[in-house]
Copies of this chain bind each other. A is one copy, B any other.
Amino acid sequence: MTFFDYQTAPARYRHWRIETDGEVGYLIMDVDQAGGLGDYELKLNSYDLGVDIELNDAVQRLRFEHPEVRCVVIKSGKDNVFCAGANIRYLGQATHGQKVNFCKFTNETRLAIEDASENSKQIYLCAINGNAAGGGYELALAADHIMLVDDRRSSVALPETPLLAVLPGTGGLTRMTDKRKVRRDRADVFCSTEEGVRGARAVDWRLVDEVVPNSKWQDAVSTRAHEIAARSDRPKDAKGIQLTPLDRKIDSDRVSYSHVDVEIDRARGLATVTVRGPSENVPASVEAAHERGAKFWPLTVARELEDAILHLRSNEAEIGVVLLRTDGNAQSVLAHDDFLAKANGDWLMREIRHYLKRVLKRVDVTPKSFIALIEPGSCFAGTLAELAFAADRSLMLIGTREGDNRKAAAITLGQANFGFYPMGNGLTRLQTRFLGEPETLAALKEKTAQPIEGEEAAERGLVTMAYEDFDWDDELRVMLEERLSFSPDAMTGMEANLRFAGPETMETKIFGRLTAWQNWIFQRPNAIGEQGALKLYGSGVSPTFNKERV
């Protein structure tokens, strides 16, 4: 089986280049045709998961390693083509699970681009110098500002439905209607038109923000990039930190990081993720935190937990249930949270908080059942308590265990739980949890920094169930046996609904409405059957469709 690794670094990129010129950074897509993960050619700047892993890495590094960059320009390194979207041969040979995982990850990357523009004021401009089709245009849609060269050839297009019988599912349809607010009938025409739209009509239909004649292109892009940079609040003289390689060790049934461990029990379909609290005290100053760089606990834990989650998604598909454990000192986690809050004016501390937010969102859209186990010695405090609130269920031990002289398990709330990490729906996890009981939430705010033990935690609604030691093993065993016996698909569908109570946003619509429809289409013979469009693409044979409308 292929092992999918989400760790990379610019020196190893095959498909992207980062170039910086003071306050403007360039993210140049120049896909190595021979560099695909499988047996296909990545022609015309088309991409597979490997290309997007590099893009994700580049977007991260621009934020952490290049704080001086205030505007990022995405452009193509090839002549006459911007990006042809996801590679069709790759999609055609991918399993259903791989397709879904790929789309989820690319969606997260595009949302990370928007998060950079909005929350880090490292604002993205997309300079479309050639055709941008399908996922190529969807990538552009993630930028704050889209420029299209007016050379009578270059166009933007979402040809998925006419060509491939699938949707522009990497946010395309949702960003058209909800971000760019393209009129629905024009969106319908546009998405049915293989060749796309170019020139003035592209602006008129709100598909791009401006078109620029070829002769003025370079100047216009540069001018616009500097204008956008001027809107940024990023510091001019900041020095980046290095995202050094992760401290990671992969064994057959274990992945170990400095502060995260993943244990795999494939026979049962079970994994245990343990996250450890800080091993150092909070830094003496913001400067000291910068010096720690990638070793600063909140950043370390974000990177390690993110890698663990992506690993479980891609490489351990048959793991259905993930137990979430923590270990460490609650006060030290809260002290780090307070440090982040106090230093929020600092660009790096801000980045770290937004990064933790994105990692927790990855948990929210991961198709595994998460069960938090809150036991003596655990450290569900502040940022780490979010793991319990991200879980589908949480079990807490009441009191202590015989022969274990650690203190009784507790949840300790901190300011991180009341606003640091909004979910995709725009609410905190506690707000979402207590949609029907705002008074319970208000009362919890009064308990900040106080350990809340088993019975009280259950009464206050912070955990699903609290058990005494003599019930614990049986309850847990029965629950896991039951959970692992259920249909994995039904669990995925159920969790995708129950996790997102309350408001829907563009982001949750992408993972809810758009993705669920796309996954449905990815199961339909009209797309993936032997006579389906995805299978026959490029063969010269036209697909045969079952005409039934469902």
Contacts and interface: CB of A to CB of B under 8 A. Distances in A.
A504 B318 CA distance: 33
Number of copies: 2
A500 interface: yes
Contacts of A435: 177-178, 181
A183 B433 contact: yes
A523 interface: yes
Contacts of A182: 436
A497 to B, nearest CB: 4
A483 interface: yes
Contact of A523 (B392, B488, B509, B520): B520
B183 A368 contact: no
A547 B318 contact: yes
Nearest to A161: B490
A278 interface: no
A497 B173 contact: yes
A167 interface: yes
Interface string A161-194: 1101111000001101110111111111101100
A550 B393 contact: no
Contact of A206 (B97, B391, B393, B436): B436
Interface in A284-342: 317-320
Contact of A487 (B173, B189, B543): B543
Interface string A468-510: 0000000000000011001111111111111111111000110
Interface stretch (A215-223, A379-387, A511-519): A511-519
A502 B499 CA distance: 21
A497 B516 contact: no
Q: Which of the listed residues A318, A367, A550 has the most CB atoms from chain B within 10 Å of its own CB?
A: A550
Contact of A184 (B167, B367, B392): B392
Given A183-B434, A549-B368, A533 B487 contact: yes
Contacts of A183: 433-434, 436-437, 461
Contacts of A504: 503-504, 508-509, 512-513
Contact of A501 (B162, B181, B508): B181
A363 interface: no
Contacts of A39: none
Contacts of A368: 549
B487 A393 contact: no
A97 B487 contact: no
A186 B520 CA distance: 28
A188 B520 contact: no
A501 B514 CA distance: 12
A91 interface: no
Given A185-B394, A494-B191, A178 B543 contact: no
A180 B513 contact: no
Nearest to A497: B173
A367 B489 CA distance: 24
A489 B548 CA distance: 8
B509 A167 contact: no
B550 A521 contact: no
A498 B173 contact: yes
A533 B173 CA distance: 33
Given A174-B497, A185-B392, 6 more contacts: A161-B486, A166-B490, A180-B436, A184-B433, A318-B547, A504-B504
17 contacts: A101-B550, A167-B493, A174-B497, A177-B435, A177-B498, A178-B501, A178-B502, A184-B498, A184-B501, A189-B393, A189-B465, A269-B547, A318-B549, A487-B533, A488-B545, A489-B521, A523-B523
